[in-house]
Structure 1
Amino acid sequence: MATAVEEMEAIKKSLIENALKGRWDEIVKIYKSKPAAYETKITKAGDTALHFAVSDGQVKIVEELIAQMKTSPDLPDLRIANEQGNTPLHVAAAMGNVAMCKVIAHLHPPLVGYQNVEGETPFFLAAFYGRKDAFLCLHRFCRSESLNGTAYARRKNGDTILHSAISGEYFDLAFYIIQLYRGLVNSINEEGFSPLHILAGKPTAFKSGSRLRRHEQIIYSYLGSAVKLVLKHIALFRLILIMDSYWQTSGGIATTKKIQEKKRKHTWALQVMNELLEDISAHEYAGNVGLVPKKGTSDDPEETVPYGIEASGSVVKKAFMGDDLSPHQTADSGALHYSLMNYCITHDFALVGHKDYSNYSPVSYPGHSESRQKRYNAIG
């Protein structure tokens, strides 16, 4: 008769073999007959078969495994995590798989706020990787279960979901976060960075910081507010054909889509900036500051010199509006960053009292120096 240890080893071996060969139906059978399989770790990273199924995108199998776990007299602990502290819900959120997020969170809603070793919750990771639908799904769980989403919105280094969305240039998601969690607008991480710092270090998020070639500038201007209209696309295609011949460019449709995406990003970034400026408060900054932001540089040829923003909301708005620049002119001409930079340098204004602001650049701020793709590969 096999000992308990030998039986566990047999279960582990069977799970590994079937997972590697993609025989998911066999794993479901093992879950049905051997409840001990629920918490059996099958990889060196400490993943269970459920982790493995989630990372492999096996929605149907995940649903079946969860359904089987629900039949257990003792509800299995879905908080079981791998070496990084990630639960299956962390993995599903990072992947942006809404169906898997729903089925896992429904079984145990508090998992939405369970932290990994970096202090990141599934809720946080959805924002970090720009998984808008998964983020909104987990937000709804927080609301319906009376969970405190704000408490799940920070990791150990003080970064919030808003810092992360802006840093990753997921500006549409950042806009939604501001609407849902407005208290995060003035949040400061341990390095002294606010969401507005991060946005100020993203010059390519605005037209003024994007180096467009002449034909790209024409396309950009031509897109206008009706960029999604079919007839506009047809006219643009004809324009591309003419310019391809004149400037000897190639990939007209791809070029148009690329520029359209840039304009979309610029539009969302401007909306985010407007929202941040609307809520920024010198009083709140005075009681919520961290360390002086570090200087940094960027080698990205697509970026111009980043510009600074000082702490007083009224001063920012004055620089934004300008005595001779209307809001429309500022947004349309790309003079926003130029106006902000000159006002800050002229008046020696800077967040947390940093005088040498002309060289300040949050592009390289420590909270996001790691590669998101590298992090994502490690999670999945």
Structure 2
Amino acid sequence: MYSVSLWLSFSAVMLLVIISIVLQQYKSKLVKTLLAQIYLAIFLVPISVYYFGGFSVISILANIVAIPLVSFVIVPLLLVCLLLSYVGLSFWIIPSLVIKLLIAYLSFLTSYAGFIEYWSYFSFFSLIIIIFGIILVIFPFSNSVRLLGLALCLVFLQSSENTSQKNQYFRVHIFDTKNQIVLVEENGQNILYISSKNLANDYVLSNTLGSYLSLVGVKQISYMIVVDADDDSFNSDFIRQIVPIKIIITNLKTEKPFQKCSYKNSFNLSQNTKVKLLSNGTSCFISIKYKNEEFLLIDNSNAKDQQQIYILYNRIINPSIVISPLVIDTKFFKPSSEYLIYTSDQLLNPQAYKNTNIRVFDTYANGAITITVYNDGTLKIRSLFKKY
């Protein structure tokens, strides 16, 4: 139900049905069919740009040749060859040559008129404006209304930027989900820290993660770090339908190429951001240092794994903010630690950290939480349900 391809197909069929009614005024079925195909291709361009970051003109160029060739040459030839075969005559090579010619033409188009990447930021608001404009142009309205539609379509040629990220240099978004999802963003680079249980939940991926990625304009996941599996494995096919993934980091088993979560595979997200992978071979904690702020992301490890991580990496971490799906040992907190973000669908026991100076935010009471560090070093915490 949540596949982009499904809804693209639905939109295409719906528009073809409408166009077939509108274009009854044309006597030529060939002209009507070609116009319907061209209108359909134009209608799907903004949708394709919004979901995939680009579009293709192959369908228009291909159908101009393919539809007449199939309708008036290939199909009649096949019918004639079928009838002749009953009297012992075989001329199948003739339609075969025509089909090969068509395939060569389509291959040529694929090579030289393939996917065209969009040159700017394309928002959902732009998508709505352009689709409305196309409808005004295609359907039989007055010339003045069609001119208005054409003006709306010019939004497609705009050169804009994602204003949701304009003044936000570094951002951590903690999703309000049963199992952990954390998205770290900085200047077009990002890290998705996600429980493998969410990778098996199509609803969460489509409606929670997918909707947020569209809202903030994320077109690709730079690093996806997968943790927390019941059967020590996961499948990433569905999430790849939502957003492309460049690198997977995990200690779990998967059918795709991946990097091990190991300290030696630590990396820099940018010149300002260093990422340390903290692992004992099973768990995968990550430490993210940006300017004066250090974030420690903890997976759903048991007490034994937590103890091993602490012994191995205690000297090299100094988190100011800890993000965890479970109640962790207070020894992970340092004198500089200020906040704990508790991600769970259950209320946190208020007595758990009563003897610390840590301020606790939980997604159960606050909903999704966003932490933003601005260019001047100012830190701001925002909650879906509450204001701070």
User: TM-score, normalised to structure 2's length?
Assistant: 0.23
Q: Which has the higher strand share?
A: 2
Q: Which has the higher helix share?
A: 1
User: TM-score, normalised to structure 1's length?
Assistant: 0.24
